[in-house]
Structure 1
Amino acid sequence: MGCMTGTSSGRRVTSADVAREAGVSRATVSYVLNDTPHQKIADATRRRVWEAAARLGYSPSAAARTLRTGRSDIVLGLLPNWPIEHVLGRLIQQLTSAFAEHELTFLVHSSAPPARPLREIWKAVTPAAVLALEEFPESEADAMRAVGIQVVMALHGSVRGEPRPPLVSEEPIGAVQARHLVGKHRRLGYASPDLTRLGALARSRLDGVREVCAELGLPEPDARTVPLEQSGAAEAVKTWLAADPPVTGICAFNDDVAMAVLAALRSLGLRAPQDLAVIGVDDIPGAALAQPPLTSVVRDTDAIARGLARRIVDTLDGKDAPADPIRDPLRVHVRESA
């Protein structure tokens, strides 16, 4: 006979049904299923309750858990309208694991159209915390707190409009790229993505390149938008090489943009790094297969995920969160392109 998933009337199974099935009180069911400490319940009774719950297909509702613990176990992750590719996908998986270690569930919502309005999402879920990957309106954050959402954090920028360091800084990425190139290259270019929704990230990374150039007395980096198609990327490459003095080293927003630059060089009969050195970000699997193999900055996304989870959990527990960004160890995977 198959396992029952509800009562004979088709309504939702409750703890009272489990109590009747097991021949115990509702309090005993609550103590057993919630593993309440300091309750002396015989092992045989515990087994009877668990077996009854399994037969009936009973599981405590999220609302019941919230009433019992005083808070939801959900952290709502708000994704901007960004492409969910290799690195962002990996970060989501690692955030899921990092929150699970703290007995929290990471639930992700993407704002890519035609998504439901943000307010409908957090009202339906009532999470303990919200982690946004980009800034969102102060009025939205205040509305969340008003309904009891305890922690609202934004990865890049403050949700309250107050100046503060981001939870994860992007500027060091551009700085690492620039420092890798400046030993051999006296004029750098920056290859920006052809997606306006990635503009905030690109500007921060470009700022890191600018800081290194200013520190070393080099010209301002020549920033160009590089589309992910050969002819448009070739126009950017030709402009860099025609500059006076010419640009000879390119810091690209990410590996996809860097590989567009490499493809443009090949189409023009040119080579990297001899004609133009190129360094990317993220070290995606295809970086090693590029022609030539792509030098790339590697981020420790697991350290980022664990750091974010720790900030959320500490804040939920009433501890003061550090003001400094989470440390993101960076290294350069050196290949032939730079």
Structure 2
Amino acid sequence: MTSRLASPTAVRHNRRRPYYVHVESTTVRNTRLSYRALGLLTYLLDQKEGWQVRSDQLSKGEGREGREAIRTTLRLLAAEGHYRLERRRLRNGKVVMGTAVSEYPVEQWIKDHEIFSTQKDPAVPVVEQEDGTFFVEYPDGTLGSDGFEIDPYDDAEPPADPEPEPGKGLAEEEPPAEEQQPATPPKNATRTRRPRRTPAQKAADDAKKEAAANQKAEEKAALDAAAEEVAKWWWDDAEKHLGPFVGKTNGYVAMRGMVKKALEKGYTKRQCADALRHARKHLPSAQQWQNALGVITNRIVPNQSNGRAPYSDSATWGYQGDDPPSTPVGTTSTPADDLDDATFGVLARP
């Protein structure tokens, strides 16, 4: 449905019924969403569309959780297709930041999150159209659906939003003084309904999802097998040369986890094996393990006349060789810490 914006930086609500806070049963029963995420999503859906989502404000007040907990929850909602940060290019040429919230999981948002969360700027760029709707602008310059549905209630006049309780949320905040609202599209403007998928298209999409899931499972199994191979070899080799392991009972599991993480970062099985021998510990500490990997890959010089070269985490976990390692299935680059704390207002002028 078309989101009625109180200002260009307002939250765009993706709702099917605009008369009350409505959360579908599929959302409530989604086991990937924590109770905290369900509560925060319901609270966001209950706010006016002039609202601006900020974790520092959401964490204030009695009974609220900390800012980091709010930010983590927003990232979970984004990954599950309920929330996203948008960089909006308006028809008048201005570029502003805003957020979008959906009462139900939007498959298109999930796909867009997988694409843009790996970018340097994780905000999803959207472009306003003549009828007031938005299209997503992808890295290759193409435009696609923003995931908002045509709602059967969309032609009805929405009721006035309820006034928030004093001191709650950000409903009392005014949009930036320099911002101007975009022109309201004509009431008789025609809207193009997106065609429904045919059974054949649905079957093809399901087949693609199943193939992707199978590939992901195969890659995960291969990664687990490689980590197990290196870990088992080292545990036997260390017992021969260093003696029996003395330490916590889950030492083998912890060591295998360290190896798996290194393999995910692009290190080879041979590099991991050489690093374990260099560390000379059944279970190296995190610092010893990363230092050993740095030495094996020539990122850290082991001996110098003036002492060991200082440890550099970015250098140790950086690219191996001339080309960057491919991102393993199931991993993404860490999104910006302030995903929900963008500066709202005009970012660029024509």
**TM-score of the two chains, using structure 1 as the length reference:** 0.21
Name the structure with the higher strand share. Answer: 1
Name the structure with the higher helix share. Answer: 1
Does 1 or 2 have the higher relative contact order (CA < 8 Å, sep 6+)?
2
**TM-score of the two chains, using structure 2 as the length reference:** 0.20
